[in-house]
């Protein structure tokens, strides 16, 4: 069972996770706009990514303990986790159909964006592999917090404090996994395994952007 403190922490993180959703306006704009050329697509997806980062920062600021960290460490954590958190968030958008019927249009926009398929296929493969875990909203929110509070980010000075904060969320996530997937004791481990896959996106992201710009 979750302790009272863990319950409060989870509730607090969930409120902010739900609140910091991509604004519906952006999702509907995705559809209303007629068939965009690939350069409009570029602008649209770049705007979406920028919005993602702003939403990510709002979510992160509300993670209990984050604001007590050194300011430059806060920057290091966000810079180091932004791409991973964005792909995790996109996996949630796709798997929980948060854009309702717009999901397939978004997929089509991405496939026609001019990004090479060497990058796109692994992306949708990742969404599918995350989808198979049938994660509940609490798991997405907590896993995002775990990704952000990763102590081995570049330029991070105070690793111990970040490690302690991350552990808090890992303990809650482990209990949530046991509660929501009682028949699958390996579920928590498989969830953490996805973080390794997520890191590969971070590594390839800069090349992906470069090749996209060239196209």
82 makes contact with other proteins (CB under 8 A)? yes
110 makes contact with other proteins (CB under 8 A)? no
Q: Which of 26, 23, 52, 50 has its CA nearest to residue 109? A: 26
Neighbouring CB atoms inside 10 A of 188's CB total: 18
In the list 54, 121, 186, 215, the residue contacting other proteins (rule: CB under 8 A) is: 54
The smaller minimum CB distance to other proteins, of residues 1 and 214, is found at 214
Structure-derived torsion over alpha carbons of residues 70, 75, 78, 80, reported in degrees to the nearest 10:
-110
Closest approach, Cβ 77 to other proteins, in A, equals: 10
In the list 57, 98, 110, 120, the residue contacting other proteins (rule: CB under 8 A) is: 57
The smaller minimum CB distance to other proteins, of residues 55 and 170, is found at 55
Closest approach, Cβ 209 to other proteins, in A, equals: 10
Q: Which of 111, 97, 113, 88 has its CA nearest to residue 194? A: 88
185 makes contact with other proteins (CB under 8 A)? no
Residue count, binding to other proteins (CB under 8 A)? 19
Q: Where on the chain is the footprint of other proteins (CB under 8 A)?
A: 19, 23, 43, 46-47, 49-50, 53-55, 57-58, 61, 71, 74-75, 78-79, 82
């Amino acid at each position: 069972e979750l302790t009272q403190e863990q319950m409060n922490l989870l509730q607090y993180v969930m409120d902010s996770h739900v609140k910091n959703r991509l604004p519906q306006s952006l999702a509907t704009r995705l559809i209303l706009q007629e068939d965009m050329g690939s350069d409009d697509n570029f602008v649209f997806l770049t705007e979406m990514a920028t919005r993602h980062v702003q939403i990510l920062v709002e979510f992160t600021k509300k993670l209990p303990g984050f604001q007590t960290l050194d300011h430059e460490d806060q920057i290091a954590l966000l810079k180091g986790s932004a791409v991973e958190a964005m792909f995790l968030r996109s996996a949630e958008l796709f798997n929980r159909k948060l854009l309702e019927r717009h999901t397939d249009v978004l997929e089509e926009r991405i496939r026609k964006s001019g990004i090479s398929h060497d990058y796109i296929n692994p992306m949708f493969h990742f969404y599918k592999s995350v989808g198979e875990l049938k994660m509940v909203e609490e798991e997405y929110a907590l896993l995002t917090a775990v990704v952000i509070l990763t102590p081995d980010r570049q330029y991070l000075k105070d690793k111990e404090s970040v490690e302690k904060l991350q552990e808090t969320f890992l303990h809650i996530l482990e209990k949530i996994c046991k509660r929501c997937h009682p028949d699958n004791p390996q579920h928590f481990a498989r969830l953490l395994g996805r973080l390794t896959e997520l890191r590969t996106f971070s590594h390839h992201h800069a090349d992906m952007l470069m090749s996209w710009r060239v196209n």
